[in-house]
């Protein structure tokens, strides 16, 4: 009898497979993040019936390097699934389908036997500045014409070029590259593929033709055969293999769907399915993401442009590198053991504009709209009357001003929208929700059931199975909006004046930031 190991116990596999094959009840959404994987069991009505997670380590072998062992993703996903089956009593035969949300841009290299050649290079690895410069030098604006993106350190193509230049013995053995979630799916099914949303994040996809770009691959000596087969997010890639079924306790009958990049899956889980909606997400970094109906829009690399998980649609995205991180930094540095709730309450005692105090959240450099790794943050306007609450409010407002800078790019393109869906840290505070409404001058809505990319992954599986006809239909059932925060006209007027001052800070501190950073590197 086949047995599944779980801690010190051995469980007979047939015991795990009991259930009614005629009425499968769940889909699994696998959310593969940077620090952990979370697997959610979601029923046909969109209820989260159970969730399990498993953390895995990060490796930083040198400054600027960020790597992981792909085997840890597979092990972590399997353990989380085993826990769903054993601890949460989700019957394996009640699981109809599985899909994925994955951390973007990471590079997994496989040899001719589909064995991993080196640790995965992750999205936050910054070793590839030289390779990004080479891409720009060799292709210039033509690269943006093809991909609708600029080459940035986080993307996959610069990582491929780094391996090509720095690890030629590895490069000679490489026959396939995959993105992180695609490697997990390969280990589940034995099938090599990626979806379009993750493929655009490699900056090797022709955004208009929706194919791997022969021109880019030829320019940089990358065989087209290295590029995995392209699939729609809702495409069925295969079934659970016998080996992974034995490993995880899943049924080999379970269908596996391609899935999506985490931002695309997160947009699904937040209901970003129409051009009138924009996502405001405050995590460690911050994201402003907008649904795009077609590929004709080209922001010339000022914003990232990616395929959506919804077939034949797209999204654009700007990033603030230190959004929630700025507030965490302030709390850790200046507020000691004080709770976040109490710290935010102090900001409520301040006023719009924090009594003339401005904060720019460039404390780890910036991505959008400046793409300046060496700029640094600042408090501007400090005087002796300012209290702690003013500083907290200035940080909160500064983060949202940086989001407003991203939205200004949409204004320039006449890309209108009327609703902002707020998720993450910015949605957990009534004050911060109102600040967003006032600075954006848009109605701001949070989610009643915020589950992020994991819910989006489950939605992909449910649509792929045919439980729902399309993403519009499933969103009505799975995604629930909270109260609306309307902009207050008086506050809007004040913030518009203050934002004009905020926009001057980058230009007037850019050279100072670079000089100070050069000093620090020389003497500290």
- Distance from C-alpha of 105 to C-alpha of 180, rounded to nearest angstrom: 8
Q: Which domain holds residue 143?
A: 106-178+194-227
Residue numbers in the known binding site are 104-105
Residues 275 and 252 in one domain: no
Does the pLDDT of residue 14 top 90, yes or no?
Answer: no
Q: Which residue, among 275, 189, 279, has the nearest Cα to 235 in the 3D structure? A: 189
Q: Which residue, among 267, 281, 494, 269, has the nearest Cα to 400 in the 3D structure? A: 281
The answer to whether residue 208 is catalytic is no
Residues 141 and 89 in one domain: no
In a domain, 2, yes or no: no
In a domain, 187, yes or no: no
Split into its structural domains, the chain has a count of 3
Q: Packing angle between helix 388-412 and helix 489-523, nearest 10 degrees?
A: 100
**463 confidence band (pLDDT: 50, 70, 90):** very high
Residues 123 and 42 in one domain: no
In a domain, 61, yes or no: yes
Pairing mode of beta strands 205-206, 194-195: unpaired
Decide if 495 contacts 353 (C-beta within 8 A). Answer: yes
Q: What is the pLDDT of residues 32-56, one digit of tens each?
A: 998 899 999 999 999 999 999 999 9
Residue numbers in the known binding site for substrate are 104-105
In the numeric block, which tokens belong to residue 372?
């300046």
Residues 202 and 259 in one domain: no
Q: What is the pLDDT of residues 418-456, one digit of tens each?
A: 999 999 888 889 999 999 999 999 999 999 988 889 999
Query: 80 or 370, which is more confident?
Result: 80
Q: What is the pLDDT of residues 103-144, one digit of tens each?
A: 999 999 999 999 999 999 999 888 999 999 999 999 999 999
In a domain, 265, yes or no: yes
**pTM for the whole thing?**
0.88
Q: Which of 125, 182, 262, 390 is catalytic?
A: 262
Decide if 350 contacts 432 (C-beta within 8 A). Answer: no
Name every residue whose Cβ is closer than 8 Å to that of residue 133 and which is 6 or more positions away in sequence. none
In a domain, 201, yes or no: yes
The CATH code of the domain that includes 43 is 3.30.420.40
Residues 366 and 498 in one domain: yes
CA angle (28 as vertex; 316, 285 as ends), nearest 5? 35
């Amino acid at each position: 009898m086949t047995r599944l190991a779980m801690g010190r116990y051995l469980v007979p596999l047939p015991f795990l497979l009991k259930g009614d094959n005629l009425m499968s009840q769940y889909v699994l959404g696998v959310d593969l993040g940077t620090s952990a994987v979370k697997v959610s069991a979601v029923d046909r009505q969109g209820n989260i019936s159970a969730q399990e997670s498993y953390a895995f380590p990060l490796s930083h072998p040198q400054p600027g390097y960020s790597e992981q062992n792909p085997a840890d993703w597979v092990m972590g996903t399997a353990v989380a699934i085993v826990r769903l089956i054993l601890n949460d009593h989700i019957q394996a035969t009640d699981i109809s389908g599985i899909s994925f949300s994955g951390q973007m841009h990471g590079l997994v290299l496989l040899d001719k036997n589909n064995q991993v050649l080196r640790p995965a290079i992750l999205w936050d690895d910054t070793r590839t500045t030289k390779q990004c410069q080479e891409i720009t030098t060799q292709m210039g604006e033509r690269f943006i014409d093809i991909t609708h993106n600029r080459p940035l350190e986080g993307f996959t193509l610069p990582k491929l070029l780094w391996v090509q230049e720095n690890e030629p013995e590895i490069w000679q053995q490489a026959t396939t590259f995959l993105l992180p979630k695609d490697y997990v799916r390969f280990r589940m099914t034995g099938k090599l593929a990626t979806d379009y949303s993750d493929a655009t994040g490699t900056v090797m996809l022709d955004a208009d033709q929706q194919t791997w770009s022969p021109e880019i691959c030829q320019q940089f000596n990358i065989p087209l055969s290295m590029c995995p087969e392209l699939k729609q997010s809702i495409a069925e890639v295969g079934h659970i293999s016998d080996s992974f079924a034995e490993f995880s306790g899943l049924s080999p009958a379970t269908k596996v769907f391609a899935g999506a990049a985490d931002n695309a899956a997160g947009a699904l889980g937040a209901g970003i399915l129409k051009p009138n909606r924009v996502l405001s997400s405050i995590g460690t970094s911050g994201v402003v993401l907008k649904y795009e109906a077609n590929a004709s829009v080209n922001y010339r690399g000022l914003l990232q442009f990616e395929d959506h998980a919804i077939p034949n649609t797209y999204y654009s995205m700007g990033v603030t590198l230190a959004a929630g991180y700025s507030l965490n930094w302030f709390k850790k540095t200046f507020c000691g053991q004080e709770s976040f709730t109490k710290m935010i309450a102090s900001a409520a005692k301040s006023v719009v504009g924090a009594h003339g105090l401005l904060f720019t959240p460039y404390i780890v450099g910036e991505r959008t709209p400046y793409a300046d790794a060496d700029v640094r943050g600042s408090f501007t306007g400090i005087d002796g009357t300012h209290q702690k609450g003013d500083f907290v409010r200035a940080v909160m407002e500064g983060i949202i001003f940086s989001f407003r800078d991203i939205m200004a790019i949409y204004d320039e393109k006449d890309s209108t929208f009327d609703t902002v869906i707020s998720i993450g840290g910015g949605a957990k505070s009534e004050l911060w929700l109102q600040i967003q409404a006032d600075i954006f001058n848009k109605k701001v809505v949070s989610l009643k059931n915020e589950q992020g990319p994991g819910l989006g992954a489950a939605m992909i599986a449910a649509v792929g199975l045919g439980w729902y006809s399309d993403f519009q239909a499933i969103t009505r059932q799975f995604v629930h909006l909270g109260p609306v925060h309307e902009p207050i006209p008086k506050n809007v007027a004040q913030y518009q004046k203050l934002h004009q001052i905020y926009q001057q800070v980058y230009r007037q501190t850019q050279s100072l930031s670079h000089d100070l950073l050069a000093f620090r590197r020389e003497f500290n």
